[in-house]
Structures are given as C-alpha cells and as structure tokens.
Amino acid sequence: MSFADHIRACNSFDRARVVPLLAGDRRIGWLRHDNAAALARFPKVFAGARDCVRLVAKGDVAAVSNAVDEVVEALVGENLVPKWRNETFDVAPRWGDPPIFRLDRGAVPFFGTRAYGVHLNGYRRDGDRLMLWIGRRAPDKRVAPNKLDNIVAGGIGNGHGIYATLVKEADEEGGIPPALVECARPAGAVSYCMATELGVRDDVLFVYDLEVPPDFTPRNSDGEIVEFDLMPAADVLDRVRRTDDFKFNVNLVILDFALRHGLIPVDDPEYTEVSTGLHRPLE
Amino acid sequence: MSFADHIRACNSFDRARVVPLLAGDRRIGWLRHDNAAALARFPKVFAGARDCVRLVAKGDVAAVSNAVDEVVEALVGENLVPKWRNETFDVAPRWGDPPIFRLDRGAVPFFGTRAYGVHLNGYRRDGDRLMLWIGRRAPDKRVAPNKLDNIVAGGIGNGHGIYATLVKEADEEGGIPPALVECARPAGAVSYCMATELGVRDDVLFVYDLEVPPDFTPRNSDGEIVEFDLMPAADVLDRVRRTDDFKFNVNLVILDFALRHGLIPVDDPEYTEVSTGLHRPLE
C-alpha cells in the first residue's frame, strides 16, 4: 500500500473499455460496452452506434428525465442498476451548464455521468500539531460501509449549489452549526475517474477546510456516520499510506489537505506523484 | 482572456505531433517529428525509428552526457537549439530516478525531457487582505522578458535538490535569508505540458508559500528581477484573469495559491476548470 496506490485505484478508468454518451454533439457520460448495449435496447430514448450512444429523447428536463427514468426502472428490474429512489443528480456536459436531465444517484455510474460532491476537512491545532476530525461510515452505507471518512461529505443533488450542500451536510452529518460552517474556506477540488463494478465514476469533489474550535465535537444526526475521532493529521496520513481504512476517494482528499498544509515533505519519494495525481483534468 | 486561457496555453502539448524519446524501455522525453528527424542523423547516439527515437549511446552519466552534448553542439551550429552553456538539467524517467545524462538547459524543450523548478509565493497579511510580492523579470531574460513573476523562481539544476534550489534562488533572486526561507511551507506542485517553438515543455514546478514579515522587502542580486511590488492578492488574481502580464506558468502558480487560500469563490464560473487544471498527471 502506498499513496500512489490510492491515486491509481481512483483513476482506473480505461478509455478503451467505454464509448461516449452524447447529447447533441456534447459528451455527458462514459458507457462501458455492456452498458452501451443495454441502453441500445431502448431506441426511443437512446440510439446506439458503433462508437457512441446518443440521447434521442426530446423535450424539457422533466420530459427527458421521465424518459430516462423509465429506462432506469427497466434496468433496475434486470438488476443492472441499483436505484436509490431518494436522490437525483443533474446531468450536464459541464458544471454550471443547464441540466439535460436528472438521474437517480444509483444509476450514475452505469451512465458514467459526472458527479459532484463536497468534502470538508475539519481540523484544529494542538500546539504545533494539526488534528483532523475523522468519521466512521455506518455499516449499512451502500458505498464503502465501515470505512473512515472526512468530518462531512456528500453528493450534490439536483438543483443544489456547492455551498448549500456543504451547509446541509455539515448540519446532518456533523452537527456543525451554520455560523461555524461560514468559517469554512474553499480550497479547490479533487477529481478522478474510476472504473467500478457498475460502470464509471467520473467525480469532482469540492474541498473545504474548516478550523473548528477546541470545544466543538461533531455529532451525527442522519445515521450515516457512527462515530468521530480526533486524530493527529500525521497519524491520519500514515494510515492513508499503509492501509485501506479510508473510503477510496477520502484518501485523495486527505492527501490534498496534507499537501496544502505542508504535511508531506518534498523529499517524500511519492511527493511528485501525489502533487500531480489528485486533480485529473476534466475531459 | 480568462483563467482557463492560461491553463490551455500551458497544456498545448499534442501527442499526435511527437514521438517518445526512449532510454531502454522507459520514456525520457517527447520529440516533435522534425526534432526526431534531426536526432536520427546522429546514429551513434540516437536511433530513429518510425514511432520513437532511442538513446543508444552507452556508458556512465558522464559518457552519455558527453555524447549527447556533441549532438547538441551540432544542433546549436544549425540554430536548432539555443544553448545556455551555464546550466544543465538531469534527465531521468521520473523524479528521484538516477539520471541517465545531463542536458544543457537550452536544449531541454528540443528533447522534451521533463524539467523541474521551484516557485515561491511570498505573501503577507494586511488586516484581512492577503498581499503578494511580485517581481518583474529583466528585459534580457531569454524566456518571458519583462513579464511579472513570483518573488522567487528557478529551475532545478543537475544534482540539486528541491529545497537547496529554493534556498539558493531565494538568496540570489529575492535576498531572502536562509532563516526566513526555513519558514517556507511546501504546498505541492503545478504541472503542465506545453508545445513551444523549440519543442515541448514538460514541467513540474514545486510550490512553496512563505509568509514574510512586514519589515521585509525583497532585493534582487542576480539581475534576473528588476523590481518588486507588493500587490493585493485579489488584484494579482484579477490581473491574471484579464491580462498576459505574468509569465505563462506563473499564472498557474498564482491560481494554485489563490485556490488554496480560498481567494476564488466556488461560484466563480471557472472554479471547476481551475481546480482540475493545474496539476497535469505525469505520463
């Protein structure tokens, strides 16, 4: 196990195994060949070609979303897609573009549409040491149960902004009051593209840092995190290097935090690879 | 002009216009087709093939360096390479690998070998504002004369380490004493790959931040910087967005600084592109 192993695991995407999903002349997703073949069976919604799949459903966002959702329901019936039924993500060529349709979160990897999340590093200073609040994910989470996580993290649901998602998740996941969240500082984004069992995770995680006061203790209220620990950042980093204890993408968020806060010395043999491995350019 | 324009300018590399330069089975550079053809005329040192050029000179680092240098001298004679004659860079597949040969800095883009530099953001706080020390490059600089620059920046010459280069350049370029440089914090690296007139710049810039005291004023002693200005970081960022006043790669270093210090709001329309555009993964 090494820092680079985590980066490679999150960047296992292989262009040769996918075709683009197009809306007009713009790519909105990556489809594994088997997933592309599955969509081609719904020609009123998707037109399959040799080297791409085209969205052909017409209408406004609601109409296209409904058409796609009928396909998703059929795929759920065939156990090709695990539908979540409580959260949809906007699908668009780029962040900030008007959405073309909304997609059940469980179906996002199948379509390989880009997903966006917010991760918060909650830290405090203990003399010269930086300490990080680390959560443990509930055993019933669909993704990465029991793994260690940031103090707050969540996907950006349709119609929600980055900061609004931070405020909502900070409240539900960590019991962080809005007045304290206001002190959080945006610090860029971590991005990666990963082949998964279901398809492709093409993810952008907007990262915030928040220095929390010594008398603050996070408290979860949505059941997604079962416990929080305050750990020396150096120990967190060592655990990232040696183990798989953290959720796959949280390793990258912690490496980004560590780099930005000068916690990885330049003579670390992985310094160059970490410095250039956490922000995959968007295609 | 936009933030993204600077990122695109530094990532103009086009894989279709180059072939790899190989040492054994490892790539050590990118050769534009015309440069590859030029090297193939020296078959005792380089063997040209259809889709690559191989280093065939044998011996230790000194022997291979001498053999390559004879080729460089011939190319200088044909005005294909502008030799600097005062600085050589190590050539290796990856940072930290033992060097295969040393190459005159002026010839580096011709061979498309990866080059490494150190950039220092010198900042101070003025109440709530961050201020940045910005230098202006001398009019006789070979690269980017008269352009604005970081307080300290320099290439990593052969055999030199990252921190040693920072200390040396901080002294020569900014008159920053070693005791103050010790307070500099490593903050990762900016990377890009750029097609230039001479070939390919495949660059990794190790970035440090240094909070300088209010009574410190940088003073240049090597003639490379003609003046320093203390500017509000917000104004620097605005100038990066609107103009070409800064050296091409300094725009990226400043964008990285601005992101890490929370100076770019998440609702900036270029936030996602900047967040994912400053750290090109190494090939």
Whether A280 and B276 lie within 8 Å, measured CB to CB: yes
Confidence of residue A51 (pLDDT cuts 50, 70, 90): very high
pLDDT in tens, B178-219: 999 999 999 999 999 999 999 999 999 999 999 999 999 999
pLDDT band at A76 (very low <50, low <70, confident <90, very high): very high
Q: Do B279 and A277 touch (CB under 8 A)?
A: yes
Question: Cβ–Cβ of A272/B204 closer than 8 Å?
Answer: yes
Identify all chain A residues contacting B281, using CB atoms and an 8 Å cutoff. Answer: 11, 276-277, 280-281
State the alpha helices, DSSP H only, in B23-176: 33-39, 61-77, 108-111, 162-174
CB contact under 8 A, B262 and A94: no
User: What distance in Å separates residue B106's CA from the closest CA in chain A?
Assistant: 24
Token reading at B272: 């996602």
Alpha-carbon distance of B152 to B171, in angstroms, equals: 9
- Quick one: pLDDT at residue A84? 82
| Rounded-to-integer distance, Cα A17 and Cα B58, Å | 40
Query: Is the distance from CB of A53 to CB of A40 less than 8 angstroms?
Result: yes
Residues of A engaging B, defined by a Cβ cutoff of 8 Å: 11, 94-96, 161-163, 185-189, 191, 204, 206, 259-262, 264-267, 269, 271-282
Cβ distance of A282 and B265 shorter than 8 Å: no
Which tokens in the block code for residue A227?
A: 């416990």
CA distance B78 to chain A (A): 36
CA distances from B20 to A56, A181, B57, B92 (A): 41, 49, 17, 13
Closest by CA position to A89, among listed A100, A79, A81: A100
Q: What is the pLDDT of residue A83?
A: 82
Report whether pLDDT(A242) > 90: yes
Please write the tens of the pLDDT for every residue from A80-100.
999 888 899 999 999 999 999
Taking CA B107 as the corner, what is the angle to CA B95 and CA B197, rounded to the nearest 5 degrees?
Answer: 105
User: Which residue in the set A265, A275, A279 is minimally distant from B275, CB to CB?
Assistant: A279
CB contact under 8 A, B264 and A162: no
Distance from CA of B186 to the nearest CA of A (A): 5
Q: Which chain B residue has the Cα nearest residue A163?
A: B266
**Nearest CB neighbour to A260, from listed B260, B275, B280:** B260
Residues belonging to chain B with any Cβ–Cβ distance to chain A shorter than 8 Å: 11, 94-96, 161-163, 185-189, 191, 204, 206, 259-262, 264-267, 269, 271-282
Interface probe, candidates B156, B160, B276, chain A, greatest A C-beta count within 10 A: B276
Residue B123, Cβ density class (10 Å: 0-12 exposed, 13-18 middle, ≥19 buried): buried
- Chain B residue nearest residue A183, CA to CA: B262
Question: Is the Cα dihedral A146, A205, A4, A9 positive or negative?
Answer: positive
- What single letter denotes the amino acid at residue A48? G
Determine which of B119, B275, B283 to mutate to test the interface with A (most A C-beta atoms within 10 Å).
B275
Within 8 A of B277 by CB-CB distance, chain A residues are 279, 281
Average pLDDT of the residues in A202-216 = 98
3-state secondary structure of A18: strand
The bridge status of strand A185-195 relative to strand A101-104 is unpaired
> Which among A262, A264, A281 has the least Cβ separation from residue B277?
A281
Q: Tell me how far apart the alpha carbons of residues A118 and A123 are, in angstroms, rounded to a whole number.
A: 16
Contact B272/A187, CB-based, under 8 Å? no
CB A98 within 8 A of CB A138: no
- Contact at CB, A267 and B189, closer than 8 angstroms: no
pLDDT of residue B86: 83
Whether A281 and B280 lie within 8 Å, measured CB to CB: yes
Non-local (6+) Cβ contacts of B17 within 8 A are: B32, B33, B195
The stretches of chain A forming alpha helices (DSSP H) are 3-10, 33-39, 61-77, 108-111, 162-174, 178-181, 233-242, 248-260, 271-275
CB count within 10 Å of CB B155 equals: 18
Of B185, B267, B280, the CB nearest to A276: B280
Q: Are strands B185-195 and B114-126 parallel, antiparallel or unpaired?
A: unpaired
Work out the number of other CB atoms within 10 angstroms of the CB of residue B180.
17
Q: Given the structure tokens 């399959």, which residue do they identify?
A: A48
Q: How many pairs of residues across A and B have Cβ atoms under 8 Å apart?
A: 101
* pLDDT attached to residue A85: 82
Residue to mutate among B279, B280, B282, B283, with most A CBs inside 10 A, is B279
| Complex-level ipTM | 0.96
Residues with pLDDT less than 70, chain B: none
- From chain B, pick out residues whose CB is under 8 angstroms from the CB of A96: 269, 272
What is the band of A166 on the pLDDT scale with cuts at 50, 70, 90? very high
